[in-house]
Structure 1
């Protein structure tokens, strides 16, 4: 039995991957969480989990001292952006490798991040910070519609919306500032120029760009990703320019230890940084990277965390893609099916559902609209796309309206998602 432990703060989407990688490295994973029961894989796989207030640094320090009396703590890390700074502070306290907590905190504040990028000459959209509706309105007038409104802190596109006219601007401002949006601190809204162009994400480890993906999102006003492909279809010059601006942003923000996800759009000005996220991208992106170039970023991140050198050499060059299963309406999930058929398609690497029948489906316009995903890979982009289409077409679901009855008092027919269309259940 291993005597060295890896402490993981909270679980998040990459949690199972970190647990498996830790065990593969002969480490004993211990998850600290405010509510361990929210992560089903912990009990299913018999992973040690301890309940503790993960927002409380002193409580975490006490728990780490208690664990250290039993285990040799090899490292402390997280896969959840909200806890990256507190992990950095824990690593400093216990003399372990980790990220710079000051740099992480500044990066997680989108306004401060914008300031530091701008000061370093990194191309970014025009922006303003607003604390009230008057500020939002005047900032939008200065920048010019359309603009993107987003909370100055947060992730997963929560609270992010494109406002194309004054009505949408007023509506979303009211949502953000009236109490509907949950703030962890005083409300601060970022008003940004809408940078238009293809979306890309650069995945980095330390100071090296491992891969660049291209992604498509759903219809405005929201930014919900529907599909992602790696590597992105870029010319050599485009690739080089994205790498250059990505590394420039890391230097400007004092990052460069561990993983980072850098979101960009290719505009008339070339690559423009939309956001820098100081953590590993959420699942299934790490799997996408491993399928495309043979680099397991979760394992390599853990190696850094325990003081080992990481190996970022590409093992192969394939095309990988992911399709997200996005809910199309509010209601109750009657059923979702086809995962086994989709998984049996040659070239499919993963099929996962996040929801179960009878789960309430409420469209949020952010990552929470995703009900699952399909991942595929092959030697070529065209072949991978064909595999992904075939597998995704095998997955269907039905969402029943919330408490809607027909004229006879019977439940209304559910909407069924089929291969080509959405029907009302009548055909």
Structure 2
């Protein structure tokens, strides 16, 4: 093993359409630091090839097999760090970082982020504003917990991302259904967190997400995304807008809550994605994820602020203090197209040439079946991303601009036009989105 052969191990590449822009930046920054990227992935590589010095295919969701594979890499190469941005993989990544003695979330930090019940318990004990909550193992326990907490309540799995299985119950008549959906959804998660569901009080107010960095325990917020959700009583995330001049970035109360929460959970090094409700009694943390955000939020952040999350992933994993100063002050947003009902996609049609839009793309192939919650999640057929001078202008362009969207075949062979959106020619920052591939 040569000390010159210094590598960063990336666990899981994600889908090209969502994550290639990160890997492209990460590979460039790694080269500048005389590091090589090594990928451990569950699928045979195609688009990933140019960015990695070595790629090993293994079932990354079998954590024992994953650990064995990464240890074998460490036996013959000098591993200086690891990172992952895939929710089911953040825990084994952090555990391996601790084993190798390289920067990572830390064992306490990854547990506090991954286990939503542990998050609630620790933040409550630290005196941070939190809704009432209980971990329940049966619908009978869920009913009793909801009665104690008071309706409306949110019922959700203990350890999933992307709002999968999260359901609002306004009263007792909706509770049984909400519990069944959440508990069933938990079965696709890590084994220790399967079955049952968390019942918690509904925090009323606008929802935001904050992508931030932690270096040696010091937390810094990067950018804030204003979130749009839909498909009541579920919480599908249908759009986000990032403004580099968002006044919340300088709001001391929010900063204090975020800082204390990360300290309380014991997060050591990494990027986090925190979801917060802005309630009448202050900012309330809904969850902290031990990874950067999905939904192309980091891409929006890069356009709006100039901060490159792909570069930060490398710097933090390699133990460097990252530079998070803004080089731009803009606004960028995204909207995802959903069908109005369960459908089979006939095709996705996107217009061209309207001002302000960065890029757009279909996200499914013709013939794909899309099922809305609770039958399925993230039933997206397309997206559009745009910029604007202000948050209001960007939002109006995303949600108010005329134009065609995805054309999908309905259950009776009819069609519905959905996901009104527009596309501008070219791309931003050299990023071009194409059809989704694995």
SS of the residue corresponding to residue 39 of structure 2 reads: strand
Q: TM-score, normalised by structure 1?
A: 0.85
Which one of 55, 72, 89 corresponds to residue 49 of structure 1?
55
User: In the aligned structure 1, how far is the partner of 2:301 from the partner of 2:329?
Assistant: 10
Q: Which moved more, 1:171-180 or 1:107-116?
A: 171-180
1:53-106 residue CA offsets vs partner (Å, 9 max, x unmatched):
324455334323443465443422111122112112212232322220232023
Question: Which deviates more from structure 2 when the two are superposed, residues 313-322 or residues 63-72?
Answer: 63-72
Give 1:195 deviation, angstroms: 0.8
Q: Give the whole-Å Cα distance in 1 for the aligned partners of 2:161 and 2:306.
A: 27
For 2:389 and 2:258, locate their aligned partners in 1 and report how far apart those are by CA, in whole Å: 27
Aligned residue for 2:360? 351
Q: Is the 8 A contact 1:301 1:310 kept in 2?
A: no
1:239-283, CA deviations, whole angstroms, 9 ceiling, x for partnerless residues? 322222111211111115211111111112121111111110014
Compared CA separation, residues 31 and 283, structure 1 to 2 (3 A): farther
Corresponding residue for residue 429 of structure 2 = none
Which position in structure 1 is the counterpart of 2:432?
A: none
8 Å contact kept, 1:393–1:418 = no
- Per-residue Cα deviation, 1:116-142 (whole angstroms, up to 9, x for no partner): 000101111111111111110001111
What is the rounded CA distance, in whole Å, between the counterparts of 1:294 and 1:18 in structure 2? 13
**Does structure 2 conserve the Cα–Cα contact (< 8 Å) formed by 1:175 and 1:181?**
no
Rg larger in 1 or in 2? 1
Alignment of 1:129-144 (within 5 A): 129-144=135-150
Q: Distance in 1 between matches of 2:395 and 2:416?
A: 27
**Equivalent position to 1:109, from 102, 105, 115:** 115
Following the alignment from structure 1 to structure 2, what is the Cα–Cα distance between the partners of residues 327 and 29? 38
Alignment-derived partner of residue 244 in structure 1: 256
Residue of 185, 192, 195 corresponding to 1:187: 195
Structure 2 unmatched runs, 5+? 422-438
TM-score between both structures, scaled by the size of structure 2: 0.83
Conserved in 2, the CA contact under 8 Å of 1:86 and 1:101? Answer: no
For the pair 1:289 / 2:301, whether they are aligned, the reply is: yes
Aligned length: 405
8 Å CA contact 1:202–1:243 kept in 2: the answer is no
Residue 417 of structure 1 pairs with residue 424 of structure 2? no
Deviation at 1:372, TM superposition (A): 3.2
RMSD between aligned alpha carbons?
2.9
Q: What secondary structure does 2:208 align onto?
A: strand
Q: Larger relative contact order (C-alpha < 8 A, sep ≥ 6)?
A: 2
After alignment, is 295-304 or 237-246 more displaced? 237-246
